[in-house]
Structure 1
């Protein structure tokens, strides 16, 4: 008799609990596949746990309202973080596409890269810069055939102050322009120790733009004679 009464009480309790779940819109009839496919505590699971906790707490020592509020706040925080992560992932994907689109606008243009190899641009000219650590009493730029070493042209730039100094060869012979020969640029400067070599930077043509790896990967540029270069390292364009 006692067992039958307990069974009825349990059934009534289960029915009351299910009624609460139904009012809250909690799905308690997940299939085994649905449960197996999820390894995270969802909103329905959280509400089921909290409802069961309310029904089974000690009536003489019930939990404080603050405890329940803290639990709900923790769950809200976790849900909020998951939503932020989703939004950040979507934003990263958008930024990746934007980086590629921006880099693609550089196709056909020339970017300034460290190095001494150059080719005549679409105007048949070579442009570049070099940086002096201190003032120089004399500076000279020389252009030679990169394959044979033949001197093609040189120019004295005279005294120059500290910092960046620009140089250019604008009257390149037609034969060199048309052949698109690879030209080696050498810079020399006298900063008090005689003429010394200084590494130049030259403008080189962008051939393509791409991006590899995950969403955080920076777009890269394929630059003529210099290969793959990060788009973030480019600060001057022609």
Structure 2
């Protein structure tokens, strides 16, 4: 709960800073317009009486300045809207801290079984769960039911000893009649320990130090 409060506070502070910047921009536009009117008035006062400037030229100058002014204001509003949406998204995503997200990121093994979500291959009659360590080396190959969509990795080797704590990635290899069919990644459920805003993106810090974008999350659930 402390982490969520701190994150939301930071987002609110960012919004306040953006509001101050918008006020400064608006003041600058107003000041520039006053300067433009003074220059236009001076131009009218000092024009050649024998060759006065056409009124249409003044209209063009006014229209040009007005167009630029409107564009600046539009850009400011778009930026403000984008930042505000980012603040809202950050505030909502911060509530994910302490929950488990499903993604294709490696899972952190700490001695407890790791829950995995896999996509069955209807043509397969045999499937194997491939386990790789943080270096990408395959450390285990376990037969699983090819029709199951949810499996659990115990984290034990063939002799019944637990693998070292750390981050592991998973994939499923499918076979039919002894021949290789296909391979697919396995989704893992990992607890979120921090939500961080990086520019316009929101990054989730996972248990064990992994990082993913909030856009990579497939689903969300209460921590088991």
The answer to whether the Cα contact below 8 Å between 1:118 and 1:126 also exists between their aligned partners in 2 is no
Show structure 2 runs of 5+ residues with no match: 1-27, 156-164
Q: Is the 8 A contact 1:211 1:219 kept in 2?
A: yes
- Higher-Rg member (1/2): 1
The TM-score, its normalising length taken from structure 1, stands at: 0.58
| Whole-angstrom distance in 1 between the partners of 2:127 and 2:99 | 27
Residue number in structure 2 paired with 1:71: 61
Q: Secondary structure at the match of 2:193?
A: strand
**2:43 alignment partner in structure 1:** 53
Contact 2:171 2:186 in 1 (8 A): yes
Q: Residue 130 of structure 1 aligns with which residue?
A: 119
- CA shift, 1:102, in A, is 2.1
Offset from partner CA, 1:180-220 (integer Å, 9 cap, x none): 997765522115772465331222221110113x4xx2010
Whole-Å separation in 2 of the counterparts to 1:116 and 1:55? 74
- Show the 5 A alignment for 1:100-115: 100-115=90-105
Give deviations 1:53-72, integer Å, cap 9, x for gaps: 11222333322222111100
Please report how far the alpha carbon of residue 76 of structure 1 lies from its aligned counterpart in structure 2 after TM superposition. Answer: 1.0
Paired residue for 1:210, among 193, 196, 210? 196
Are residue 220 (structure 1) and residue 203 (structure 2) matched?
Answer: yes
Residue 230 (structure 1) aligns with:
213
Corresponding residue for residue 173 of structure 2: 188
Q: Distance in 1 between matches of 2:128 and 2:106?
A: 11
Aligned residues: CA RMSD:
4.1
Give the Cα–Cα distance (whole angstroms) in 2 for the partners of residues 154 and 181 of structure 1: 22
CA gap of 1:85–1:185, structure 2 versus 1, over 3 A, is closer
Question: Is this contact kept in 1: 2:103–2:189, CA < 8 A?
Answer: yes
The number of equivalent residue pairs is 182
The unaligned stretches of length 5 or more in structure 1 are 1-37, 159-164, 173-179
2:146 to 134, 141, 157: 157
TM-score by length of 2: 0.62
**C-alpha separation in 2, matches of 1:141 and 1:225:** 25
| Aligned-partner Cα distance in 1 for 2:132–2:185 | 17
* Residue 81 (structure 1) shift: 2.1
The question of whether the paired residues in 1 share the 8 Å contact of 2:107 and 2:189 is answered with: no
